[in-house]
Structure 1
Amino acid sequence: MTATDPAMTALAHSWSALSLLHGRIESRVERALQSRHRLSAREYSLLDVLSRQHDGEGGHLQMRQVADSVVLSQSATTRLVTRLEDRGLLSRYLCPTDRRGIYTDVTDDGLRLLEEARPTHNTALREALDQAAAEPALAPLVQAVQQLQDSTRPA
């Protein structure tokens, strides 16, 4: 296989299109969340992931699980948690069964902000996807996202 192999060239173009779609979505969501809620897309994502925790077996995420969920390194996740904790949107506490473990919960203020920001996030996401669907290079990716959404909806 060479650098000019048509299969590799097609793969590179596909990856480029996926990267472009991701960048456009993230940029639009970021601008909307920052301007209306003083919240970054990563902060929103972290609040959203943590808001889905529950009591009971496996209900609270460890920091490494949180990092995986928001696609950040553990150290970047810890810095992000600290920023949100400083703003009163998150709180941390020791795991009751393993004193080495630290859990993070969304505060009432964090939940309020998340609920206020959710429509902004969803609208910006929908607008970015609609705009991308009009571009021939991105339309198949938008269709794939919609098919994935359809397949994960409860029956």
Structure 2
Amino acid sequence: MTATDPALTALAQGWCALSLLHGQIETHIERALQAEHGLSVREYSLLDVLSRQHDGEGGHLQMKQVADAVVLSQSATTRLVTRLEDRGLLSRYLCPTDRRGIYTDVSEAGAALLAQARPTNDAALREALDEAARDPELAPLVTAVETLRVPA
């Protein structure tokens, strides 16, 4: 079944095409990150999200916020944090104002690995989009992704 299967409604066709594009991109990036840096897409995403924290008001993310940002459940995010902490890429500490809160920071080793992996991620994303753009079913979605501007 393809995104243009006439048995699908227009809405279902669009969703099928979007799902296909996402899968192709994620697979391409996953292979590149694993081969070059021993990271999964989710591990890279978690390091990236956590690296953007800051010391100002609201600068540190709670686990639910992290889970939402990396599109995982809280329990899956906690397991992922534990795996990366075991590898020395993250550290956890108690929130200074709320002893029930636990924050997670990227370690120096994690920041170094992220810096090395970022160009790989970006290149793999570009390659995956270029490849998908050659598929007439996916080309309009690639254009939409390339022109999307997220408000700051």
Provide Cα deviations, 1:101-150, integer angstroms capped at 9, x if missing partner: 110000000000000000100000000000001111000100000111xx
Q: Which has the higher helix share?
A: 1
Distance 2:21 2:150 in 1: 21
Change (3 A) 1:153 1:134: farther
The answer for the alignment partner of 1:26 in structure 2 is 26
The answer for the alignment partner of 1:36 in structure 2 is 36
- What is the CA-CA distance between 1:56 and the residue it aligns to? 1.1
- What is the CA-CA distance between 1:153 and the residue it aligns to? 8.9
The answer for the alignment partner of 2:9 in structure 1 is 9
TM alignment of 1:1-150, pairs within 5 A: 9-148=9-148
Distance 2:150 2:98 in 1: 34
Provide Cα deviations, 1:45-66, integer angstroms capped at 9, x if missing partner: 0000000000010000000000
Query: 1:28 is aligned with what amino acid?
Result: H
May I ask how many residue pairs the two structures share in their alignment? 147
Q: Which 4+ runs in 1 deviate beyond 6 A? A: none
Provide Cα deviations, 1:59-111, integer angstroms capped at 9, x if missing partner: 00000000000000000000000000000000000101111111000000000
Question: TM-score scaled to structure 2, two decimals?
Answer: 0.93
The answer for the alignment partner of 1:3 in structure 2 is none
For structure 2, list consecutive stretches of 5 or more residues without a partner in the other structure.
Answer: 1-5
| Helix, strand or coil at the partner of 1:50 | helix
Q: CA RMSD in A?
A: 1.6
Provide Cα deviations, 1:17-70, integer angstroms capped at 9, x if missing partner: 000000000000000000110000000000000000000100000000000000
| Helix, strand or coil at the partner of 1:88 | coil
Distance 1:67 1:42 in 2: 11
Question: TM-score scaled to structure 1, two decimals?
Answer: 0.91
For structure 1, list consecutive stretches of 5 or more residues without a partner in the other structure.
Answer: 1-5
